[in-house]
Amino acid sequence: MLKAIGISGALVLGAGLLSSCSTAHADVATAGSGQCDVATAAALGGSNAGAKWIAGEGAVPAYCEISATLSPEPGSTIGVVYRLPEGWNGKILGLGGGGWAGNVTLDAAKPGLIAHYATAQTDGGHASAAPFENAWVVEEPKAKDFSWRAIHEMTVAGKTLLTAYYGRGQDKAYFQGCSTGGRMALMEAQRFPADYDAIIAGAPVYTLQTQTSAVFRNNSFAMPSAAIGTDGAAKIAAAALAQCDAKDGVKDGVIADPRACSFDPASVPGLTPEQVKAVRTAYSGVRAADGSWVQWPMSRGGEADWHMFVAVNGDWKEFSNGGGFGGLLPVLFPGSIVDKHALTADQVVQARQSAFARMYEAKDPNLAPFFQRGGKLLMWHGESDPGPSPVGTIDYVEAVRKADAAGAANGLRLFLAPGVDHCGGGPGADQLPLLEQLDSWLTTGKAPETMVATRADGSMVRPLCAWPKVAQFGGSGDPNDPKNYRCIDRAS
């Protein structure tokens, strides 16, 4: 998806799909341009403090933009930006980044500002916004800051700033992120359960299995006779849809439950045996000897967009450098020379035992401290994501449920979006009212069991069911009316 929408758009998606759901509270103290000064910014305790008043424009209210550099240890340079709106709703919204970058852009903050949230953002500890340039990982403390510390420091400082600016602290603290932002979200729930009351984690790149999957996929299509190209991928997608699209009761160009689809690419005329093998491997994934994934499975029905993250042309050329894996080689295999084009399953296991992996991966399923505080974790993933696989997110959710069934029952929900690519895009309904649902969950205490997703142009409206249920059309009425669907058990 990153390639299709461009780098700046990717970082907006990394922050997540926001919904303007909250209105300003009449009883909340209102601050204005008089408080927007460097003296107030000094409350952050950082350096390079700056403050400027931004007039409102359109739906965006006037706000104070405060920036600084936080340095929890020598050499640490965590850039932070806070936008504090007039008519504050009493809540702070932390936002995540995308790729190997943070995100301090106004575009990412706008939806939250429109809903009158105070927003908090960080560059993740390094200034570059290039999502797949990550040579800086060899530098400490940059790697530590990006892996887990930057969001925490941003959050703690931001809460202090709210009191200095508005005269009181927040009522609630929310975090939202997708992709890398989804990993940051899970890291907060795992390492710092008191930072946020509720968290949205979309398509989380929470372990290095995302990167190794990208490398293995590229390598599997590298042989000329195995390369399917974009035309071949579209042809395979059409065949998969012809077999499985209508299984949910409506033929709409997406497969509601890809893991229940048994389509075999061998049925597609003209594919070579090597192409069939590569596609089958893409569907099934690859495991190491210890049972861990080295290549997560990809979904049937999403093949037409695989090229966004996979070198389906057989030339190893895709814009993400194996999800940034190439830049990680020095920290994953210190003192060794490893060819990513010949990466083995044993090497993946070795990489995930490295010091960097232990610091970076957000895989701990023990969320009991977060749940015990009443924390809520709303997760979502596009079924046709060609980057991190929804299988990885499902695996994590099931591990959390196994670790703390009662806590997960009250504090965890997962929604899968059929036909949706990485953090958005694709033929499915990719506009999810995530922040609205999260806020309602906290306000009413009632966990969401369904969510209505739409396409931006209004051409598709679909209900999503909380995992493990899936939506099934009743067979009559308007397919764009969510009332004509019911949530059923998955066949898979």
23 and 167 assigned to the same domain: yes
- Per DSSP, 148 falls in state I
CB burial string 14-46: b at 16+ within 10 A, e below: bbbbbbbbbebeeebeebeeebbbeebbbbbeb
112 and 155 in a common domain: yes
CA gap 176, 16 in Å, rounded: 6
Are 179 and 249 members of one domain?
no
Select from 311, 340, 359 the last residue of a domain.
359
Widest Cα–Cα separation across the chain: 70
Residues 67 and 127 in one domain: yes
Per DSSP, the residues of 4-21 read HH-HHHHHHHHH------
Q: Give the pLDDT of residue 31.
A: 57
What is the rounded distance in angstroms from the CA atom of residue 118 to the CA atom of residue 108?
Answer: 13
State both tokens at 183: 């990993």
Is residue 287 packed enough to be buried (19+ CB in 10 Å), middle (13-18) or exposed (0-12)?
Answer: middle
Residues written for the chain: 492
Q: Which domain holds residue 290?
A: 210-359
Residues 317 and 374 in one domain: no
Rounded Cα gap, residues 57 and 331, in angstroms: 45
The whole-number pLDDT of residue 443 equals 94
Distance CA 421, CA 428 (A): 8
Tell me: do 123 and 245 sit in the same domain: no
- Do 252 and 152 share a structural domain? no
The pLDDT, as a whole number, for residue 319 is: 83
Q: What is the pLDDT of residue 491?
A: 83
Say how far apart CA 450 and CA 117 lie, in whole Å: 25
Q: What one-character-per-residue DSSP string does 320-345 give? A: TTTTTHHHHHHHHSTT----GGG--H
Choosing from 359, 381, 400, the residue where a domain stops is 359
- In total, how many domains does the chain have? 2
- Quick one: 191 and 224 in the same domain? no
Element (H, E) at 377: strand 376-382
Specify whether 348 is located in the same domain as 379: no
Is residue 192 a contact partner of residue 179, using CB atoms and an 8 Å limit?
no
Question: Are residues 317 and 344 both part of a single domain?
Answer: yes
Q: For residue 448, give the DSSP letter.
A: P
Residue 377 maps to which CATH number? Answer: 3.40.50.1820
pLDDT by residue for the chain (492 residues), tens only, comes to: 333 333 334 444 444 444 334 333 333 345 566 789 999 999 999 999 999 999 999 999 999 999 999 999 999 999 999 999 999 999 999 999 999 999 999 999 999 999 999 999 999 999 988 899 999 999 999 999 999 999 999 999 999 999 999 999 999 999 999 999 999 999 999 999 999 999 999 999 999 999 999 999 999 999 899 999 999 999 999 999 999 999 999 999 999 999 999 999 999 999 999 999 999 999 999 999 999 999 999 999 999 999 999 999 999 888 888 999 999 999 999 999 999 999 999 999 999 999 999 999 999 999 999 999 999 999 999 999 999 999 999 999 999 999 999 999 999 999 999 999 999 999 999 999 999 999 999 999 999 999 999 999 999 999 999 999 999 999 999 999 999 999 999 986
Domain boundary among 359, 382, 412: 359
**Which residue spans within 268-357 are E strands per DSSP?**
286-287, 293-295
By CB neighbour count within 10 A (0-12 exposed, 13-18 middle, 19+ buried), where does 289 fall? exposed
Q: Are residues 348 and 455 in the same domain?
A: no
Residues 196 and 116 sit within 8 Å (Cβ to Cβ): no
- The answer to whether 310 and 388 have CB atoms below 8 angstroms apart is no
The answer on 230 and 160 residing in a single domain is: no
Residue with tokens 């953002």: 121
pTM for the model: 0.94
